[in-house]
A and B are shown apart, each in its own frame.
Chain A
């Protein structure tokens, strides 16, 4: 399957590449969108700089060679051009810093949220607490992935649905709602990251970090721990189901009844 893909890419580069994920997802939250837009802006700026610099170099390599009989020029300094290629990059950097700072200020503003979700990292699972609604549960890798990922399990992992990206209890969050997520950890440092919901932040013992999400599209979003946290660091996925607000409150109700039923 994979070998055939490599061959396919050699023969039909565009066709094969179309299926291959090569870029950051734009995501479904305001924070993921500004991160993506900034990423693309800087990427295009570096591409232009690259074309200019490497272009000049390539021209020089092609034409200023001894084998063509080119004689070396004598110049070896010029204060004027040194100033030019100090000032121009500075101006470009200012042009990058302005949108970056704006985006950063927006991302760090966790005020006026409607719901607070507290996430605690453990070796190797997540605990989720809905502070307003008093719902708490642990979430760890789904059994099917967990069995398949063992050394010598004999399972073809490509046949496992959402291999390493499925959990036993998914987080449910309402769409079009500003949700504040508090991050901490109980043992070592973890990092909670769902690419389509925006950036990650570390979950650190003794600290409570904050991020916020405002999911615009209902759907299932997957991520995983992003800070090395021991042997099973690669096996603590995150799944977020984003549903409409009424559905969310229905889900919260069910969680509460379940808990009451369990306690009896």
Chain B
């Protein structure tokens, strides 16, 4: 297959067009990957500012800064921006940059589609964020959009739904491209079970995207017709069922959770062996564990809604399936520790982020296991304990993995080495503040503070004050990350081709930075 492509593709020497048109018309996987990553960083700061509005209001009991309606818009938008704007595009950006150079391909399989799937995003988010300036304000029913509350939304409602549709289209196109690339464009000799683990996790993630995003599209379309065309899908007074929305939403929502974490598993499984100077322990079981997590993700959705009053048998079924997820996830954590065991470790910035990922993600996994226990979940549900849980798996989980990946591959992408001392400083500040922000949330949640409230009883004040201090520290620390990026880009010292002595994979056989068309001749893999 790859030889055919070489024959068709004769003009090897054409480079990018110049100026702004390079970025608008590009079909190059590296340019598109770069745009995804910058877009994600911008969204990370926009979503972060919203989080800081939330934490500033919650610094003290009483309302000091915003009215409750605006507070709800902030919680809703913070989630939508971070999930669909920051984390998912970051992973797609990493896939764009890395998949072709990891499997020995010249580019992604569907380059024009690739351009389109990126360029949908800025328009979708412009529309979604513009709702904040409408008279009715932005969406305020939470990112889960539960009816009947979401149906009370004002002018922002149809715009938000259209934006979600566009994000879904972008994700599905991206996923199709990833699958087409991985299945058709691997170097000769690279069988499925020889693929780098990051490629495996992205292949599985892409299938999750294709299976789950249309379900979300269906759910939000039904909301739209309920609101504007008089259907009664979710309206009890018309024979509809508000709980059905939650079932449909979470049938998308739980696979979505793994869309946000499986590529992170792939990144950590790449970085830990590189800096332990030892092969990944249990490659096969890592692949099977990832696939099992993905399959299980389709039969656990109702654990997000144990309090809706399901029948006992339903509650027991979803409790058991949810607990089962701990097994493949445990296998992954044990394999990472076994990879480190008796290695020859060094602790550069990517390794530090990867190790912190394992520890803090596991803590998030523990609270996840606690949440699976239905009788205890009746207490935890919709409290700050849940907020602490999912931020532990998403911030020191997904976001740390993204940062690890950026530090790990940045020298390859740019041909320039970042400042290791500043990278380590960024790591330590980020890790300290992330825990200062989210650990106290476990306590206030257990003590009885519900989530999504703009004001709280005075007994929750102290831990909230600490969390707010942590959040501002975390936000400011990320400015250092931006500084490190620009500082790297303006250097003229060039990085070696094989930046890390323990790193393995085809990407390290290319120059740093790699040529515009990555592998024009497919490498041979034994």
Residues of A in contact with B (beta carbons under 8 Å apart)? 2, 5-6, 20-25, 31-32, 34-36, 38-39, 42-43, 46, 49-50, 53-54, 56-57, 60-61, 64-67, 70-78, 81-82, 85-86, 89-90, 93, 96-97, 100-101, 103-105, 107-108, 148-153, 155-158, 162-165, 183, 187-189, 191, 193, 195, 198-202, 204-207, 209-210, 223-235
Take A86-B331, A103-B375, A195-B379 as given contacts and tell me if A72 and B462 are in contact as well, using a CB distance cutoff of 8 Å: no
Query: What are 11 A-B pairs with beta-carbon distances under 8 A?
Result: A42-B370, A73-B343, A151-B65, A200-B382, A205-B148, A209-B309, A224-B450, A228-B452, A230-B72, A233-B68, A233-B72
Residues of B near A155 (CB, < 8 A) are 62
A122–B447 Cα distance when bound, in Å, is 25
Residues of A near B63 (CB, < 8 A) are 149-153
Take A60-B341, A77-B281 as given contacts and tell me if A202 and B308 are in contact as well, using a CB distance cutoff of 8 Å: yes
- Could you say which of B309, B337, B450, B459 contacts A201, with CB atoms under 8 Å apart? B309
**By the criterion CB–CB under 8 Å, are B447 and A73 in contact?**
no
Check B345 for interface membership: any CB of A closer than 8 A.
yes
Chain B's interface: helix, strand, loop or mixed, by majority? helix
**By the criterion CB–CB under 8 Å, are B378 and A81 in contact?**
no
Check B366 for interface membership: any CB of A closer than 8 A.
yes
**By the criterion CB–CB under 8 Å, are A20 and B450 in contact?**
no
Check B327 for interface membership: any CB of A closer than 8 A.
yes
Check B330 for interface membership: any CB of A closer than 8 A.
yes
Within B433-461, the residues touching A (CB, 8 Å) are 443, 446-448, 450-459, 461
Which A residue's beta carbon lies closest to that of B305?
A: A202
Take A23-B447, A77-B283, A107-B375 as given contacts and tell me if A189 and B242 are in contact as well, using a CB distance cutoff of 8 Å: yes
CB distance from B289 to the nearest CB of A (A): 9
Check B424 for interface membership: any CB of A closer than 8 A.
no
Chain B, 353-372, contact with A by CB distance < 8 Å: what is the 0/1 string? 00100110011001001100
Check B282 for interface membership: any CB of A closer than 8 A.
yes
CB distance from A63 to the nearest CB of B (A): 9
Check B161 for interface membership: any CB of A closer than 8 A.
no
Which B residue's beta carbon lies closest to that of A108?
A: B312
- Could you say which of A97, A198, A229 contacts B378, with CB atoms under 8 Å apart? A198
Take A202-B308, A232-B68 as given contacts and tell me if A22 and B446 are in contact as well, using a CB distance cutoff of 8 Å: yes
Residues of B near A201 (CB, < 8 A) are 307, 309, 378
**By the criterion CB–CB under 8 Å, are A60 and B343 in contact?**
yes
Take A64-B340, A228-B149 as given contacts and tell me if A54 and B382 are in contact as well, using a CB distance cutoff of 8 Å: no
CB distance from A96 to the nearest CB of B (A): 7
Check B466 for interface membership: any CB of A closer than 8 A.
yes
A116–B375 Cα distance when bound, in Å, is 22
CB distance from B321 to the nearest CB of A (A): 11
- Could you say which of A34, A46, A82, A150 contacts B285, with CB atoms under 8 Å apart? A82
**By the criterion CB–CB under 8 Å, are B340 and A34 in contact?**
no
Which A residue's beta carbon lies closest to that of B280?
A: A76
**By the criterion CB–CB under 8 Å, are A38 and B458 in contact?**
no
Check B69 for interface membership: any CB of A closer than 8 A.
yes
Residues of A near B279 (CB, < 8 A) are 76
CB distance from B404 to the nearest CB of A (A): 16
A49–B330 Cα distance when bound, in Å, is 10
A65–B356 Cα distance when bound, in Å, is 17
CB distance from A43 to the nearest CB of B (A): 7
**By the criterion CB–CB under 8 Å, are A89 and B376 in contact?**
no
Residues of A near B282 (CB, < 8 A) are 76-78, 82
Residue among B277, B333, B339, B344 having the largest count of chain A Cβ atoms under 10 Å: B344
Interface size class of B (residues with CB under 8 A): 35 or more
Residues of B near A234 (CB, < 8 A) are 68, 450, 452-456
Residues of A near B281 (CB, < 8 A) are 75-77
Check B123 for interface membership: any CB of A closer than 8 A.
no
Take A64-B344, A157-B458, A189-B148 as given contacts and tell me if A93 and B323 are in contact as well, using a CB distance cutoff of 8 Å: yes
CB distance from A105 to the nearest CB of B (A): 7
A67–B275 Cα distance when bound, in Å, is 12
Which B residue's beta carbon lies closest to that of A201?
A: B307
**By the criterion CB–CB under 8 Å, are B323 and A188 in contact?**
no
- Could you say which of B342, B362, B375, B378 contacts A50, with CB atoms under 8 Å apart? B362
Which A residue's beta carbon lies closest to that of B150?
A: A188
**By the criterion CB–CB under 8 Å, are B307 and A34 in contact?**
no
Residues of A near B447 (CB, < 8 A) are 21-25, 195
A206–B66 Cα distance when bound, in Å, is 33
Check B222 for interface membership: any CB of A closer than 8 A.
no
**By the criterion CB–CB under 8 Å, are B375 and A149 in contact?**
no
Take A56-B341, A60-B340 as given contacts and tell me if A199 and B62 are in contact as well, using a CB distance cutoff of 8 Å: no
A20–B463 Cα distance when bound, in Å, is 9
**By the criterion CB–CB under 8 Å, are A104 and B375 in contact?**
yes
CB distance from B419 to the nearest CB of A (A): 20
Which A residue's beta carbon lies closest to that of B466?
A: A6
CB distance from B20 to the nearest CB of A (A): 42
Take A21-B447, A64-B342, A188-B148 as given contacts and tell me if A199 and B319 are in contact as well, using a CB distance cutoff of 8 Å: no
**By the criterion CB–CB under 8 Å, are A157 and B61 in contact?**
yes
**By the criterion CB–CB under 8 Å, are A57 and B359 in contact?**
yes
A207–B340 Cα distance when bound, in Å, is 52
A210–B342 Cα distance when bound, in Å, is 55
**By the criterion CB–CB under 8 Å, are A204 and B309 in contact?**
yes
Chain-A contact segment, one of B1-9, B95-103, B138-146, B480-488: B138-146
A50–B362 Cα distance when bound, in Å, is 8
A135–B276 Cα distance when bound, in Å, is 70
Which A residue's beta carbon lies closest to that of B316?
A: A101
Residues of A near B42 (CB, < 8 A) are none
Check B237 for interface membership: any CB of A closer than 8 A.
yes
**By the criterion CB–CB under 8 Å, are B452 and A100 in contact?**
no
Residues of B near A93 (CB, < 8 A) are 323-324, 326-327
**By the criterion CB–CB under 8 Å, are A205 and B236 in contact?**
yes
A235–B68 Cα distance when bound, in Å, is 10
Which A residue's beta carbon lies closest to that of B463?
A: A20
CB distance from A83 to the nearest CB of B (A): 10
Take A22-B447, A163-B457, A228-B149 as given contacts and tell me if A72 and B373 are in contact as well, using a CB distance cutoff of 8 Å: no
Residues of B near A60 (CB, < 8 A) are 337, 340-343, 345
Check B381 for interface membership: any CB of A closer than 8 A.
yes
Residues of B near A86 (CB, < 8 A) are 327, 330-331
Residues of A near B363 (CB, < 8 A) are 50
Chain B, 131-165, contact with A by CB distance < 8 Å: what is the 0/1 string? 00000000011100010110010000000000000
A97–B242 Cα distance when bound, in Å, is 30
**By the criterion CB–CB under 8 Å, are B341 and A158 in contact?**
no
Residues of B near A34 (CB, < 8 A) are 375
Residues of B near A42 (CB, < 8 A) are 369-370, 373, 376
CB distance from B14 to the nearest CB of A (A): 42
Take A82-B285, A100-B319 as given contacts and tell me if A61 and B345 are in contact as well, using a CB distance cutoff of 8 Å: yes
Which B residue's beta carbon lies closest to that of A63?
A: B342
A141–B13 Cα distance when bound, in Å, is 72
